[in-house]
């Protein structure tokens, strides 16, 4: 496991440095071009039934088992399958989402960005077609036909893949906190739920010039894929323009295997989309004025606003101040981890957010990987985890002892950490005089190592620290040990 982790860390570090060098080189050589990226995000609304029928919306049912007569347009006497337009009257217009952008290894610090929402509209999903070229057949699964979606149409005010990925990450956090969408995305290697799909409209132009000819990337299935797809398409368009060519208005798809975009079809004009009004859909009336009586008992927007939970931007201001950008990205990358992290901080106002995050990312998640555990382990043992963190923050134990206590939780889950520490006398040794005696004893017992170190072989310094850890049964404050050992050796 240790060898695997070292190899994994080396690969991550190598690709991070390579990616950073590439990005700096790419940006510096293409300042003459301005990319414009606008997203269209389709989020499945968390409902138990479809938009216009009682068929269930739950995932992973057998083919065509969640289809009502209405969903498949039986008996076929009325038009069906056309796209209902909300071009004139969308549910909401002129919104905005603020978010932070940070990529470890690329950015020295995070920066704030906002993207304007042109409109939000209601849609229904279509069926799925599978084409078998060997047998010359097309197979249809209508399980998703009629599932309600909300479509977010953003203005083309993003400039790269990192910003696009950060925007989707922020929107996912908002929707998950509201409970309106699970935001589970597709995976090219696994048949998993695609409750959130992203289309990206990309164009490249000269600075201060009108937007260039755009291409649309369809149904991008993950945040990571979105980042790579947008970056690839920007490079592709710049390459075409630099050679004197013309970008074609077309629809393309992201190929996650070959890491490139491929042509799907030439883009249709708007009049080719066959938008149709739906006369059977009545208008939706809302009560939107504060301090005015809602005498017609309409949907009360001001009342709903008051019931909203804290959103990510507020949580960051109130709870997560002081976190480094890379820590903040790590904590918010997984919704369940984000909820657990916020809950632990709310339960203990004295807790240091940076320390809690560090322990989670560096120690607890690593331990869970070793034991093949998921976050349910932490949720079920939250009180235990919280007490662990309090013991670390109070400097009662060190992080090596934390690992022992996590092992105790797995093997003997009937005692709390404080009791285990007291019974086994696992208290941290932090008294500097005691630590200095231990360090002096190690140096006296290893004159050959001291001689080699003073001769310039600095790598053996870790051996002194290792001996200190063994001598104290992993209870020493290793930060203080390192300082004392350095002083004594000099």
pLDDT along the chain (490 residues), means of 10: 48 51 48 93 95 90 91 80 70 93 81 95 86 86 92 96 96 96 70 81 94 92 93 96 94 92 76 63 84 88 91 86 84 90 93 93 91 92 96 94 94 91 94 94 93 90 93 92 92
Nearest C-alpha neighbor of 408 from the set 375, 355, 367: 367
Helix (H, G, I), strand (E, B) or coil at 306: helix
pLDDT at 29: 45
Per-residue buried b or exposed e for 477-488, using 16+ beta carbons within 10 Å of the residue's own CB:
bbebbbebbeee
Instruction: Kindly list the distances between the CA atom of residue 18 and the CA atoms of 13, 24, 74, 91, 104, in Å, as whole numbers in the listed order.
Output: 9, 10, 56, 44, 12
pLDDT attached to residue 13 = 54
pLDDT of residue 275: 63
For residue 162, count other CB atoms closer than 10 A to its CB: 20
Q: Which pLDDT value is given to residue 172?
A: 96
């Amino acid at each position: 496991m240790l060898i695997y982790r070292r190899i994994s860390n080396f690969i991550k570090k190598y690709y991070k440095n390579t990616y950073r060098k590439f990005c700096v080189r790419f940006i510096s050589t293409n300042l003459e071009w301005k990319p414009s990226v606008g997203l269209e995000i389709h989020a499945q609304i968390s409902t138990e039934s479809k938009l216009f029928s009682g068929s269930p919306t739950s995932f992973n049912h057998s083919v065509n088992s969640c289809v009502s007569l209405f969903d498949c347009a039986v008996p076929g006497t009325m038009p069906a399958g056309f796209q209902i337009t909300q071009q004139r009257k969308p549910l909401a217009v002129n919104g905005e989402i603020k978010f932070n952008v940070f990529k470890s290894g690329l950015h020295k610090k995070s920066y704030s960005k906002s993207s304007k929402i042109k409109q939000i509209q209601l849609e229904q999903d279509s069926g799925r077609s599978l084409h078998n070229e060997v047998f010359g057949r097309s197979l249809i699964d209508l399980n998703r036909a009629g599932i309600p979606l909300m479509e977010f149409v953003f203005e083309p005010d993003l400039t790269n893949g990192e910003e696009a990925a950060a925007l989707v990450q922020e929107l996912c956090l908002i929707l998950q906190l509201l409970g309106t969408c699970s935001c589970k995305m597709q995976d090219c290697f696994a048949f998993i739920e695609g409750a959130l799909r992203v289309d990206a409209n990309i164009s490249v132009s000269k600075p201060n010039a009108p937007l260039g000819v755009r291409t649309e990337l369809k149904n991008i299935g993950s945040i990571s894929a979105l980042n790579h797809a947008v970056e690839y398409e920007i490079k592709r368009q710049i390459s075409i323009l630099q050679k004197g060519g013309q970008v074609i208005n077309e629809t393309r798809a992201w190929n996650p295997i070959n890491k490139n975009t491929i042509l799907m079809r030439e883009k249709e004009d708007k009049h080719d989309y066959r938008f149709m009004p739906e006369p059977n859909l009545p208008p939706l009336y809302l009560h939107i004025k504060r301090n005015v009586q809602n005498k017609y008992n309409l949907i009360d927007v001001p009342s709903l606003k008051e019931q909203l939970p804290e959103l990510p931007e507020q949580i960051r201001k109130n709870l997560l101040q002081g976190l480094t950008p890379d820590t903040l990205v790590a904590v918010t990358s997984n919704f369940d981890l984000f909820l657990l992290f916020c809950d632990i901080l709310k339960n203990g106002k004295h807790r240091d957010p940076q320390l809690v995050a560090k322990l989670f990312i560096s120690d607890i998640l690593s331990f869970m990987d070793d034991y093949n555990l998921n976050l349910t382990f932490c949720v079920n043992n939250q009180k235990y985890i919280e007490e662990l963190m309090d013991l670390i923050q109070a400097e009662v134990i060190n992080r090596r002892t934390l690992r022992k206590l996590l092992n105790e939780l797995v093997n003997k889950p009937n005692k709390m950490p404080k009791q285990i520490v007291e019974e086994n006398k696992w208290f941290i040794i932090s008294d500097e005089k005691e630590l200095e005696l231990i360090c002096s004893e190690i140096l006296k017992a290893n004159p050959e190592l001291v001689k080699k170190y003073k001769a310039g072989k600095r790598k053996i310094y870790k051996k002194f620290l290792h001996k200190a850890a063994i001598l104290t049964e992993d209870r020493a404050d290793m930060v203080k040990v390192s300082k004392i050992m350095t002083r004594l050796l000099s």
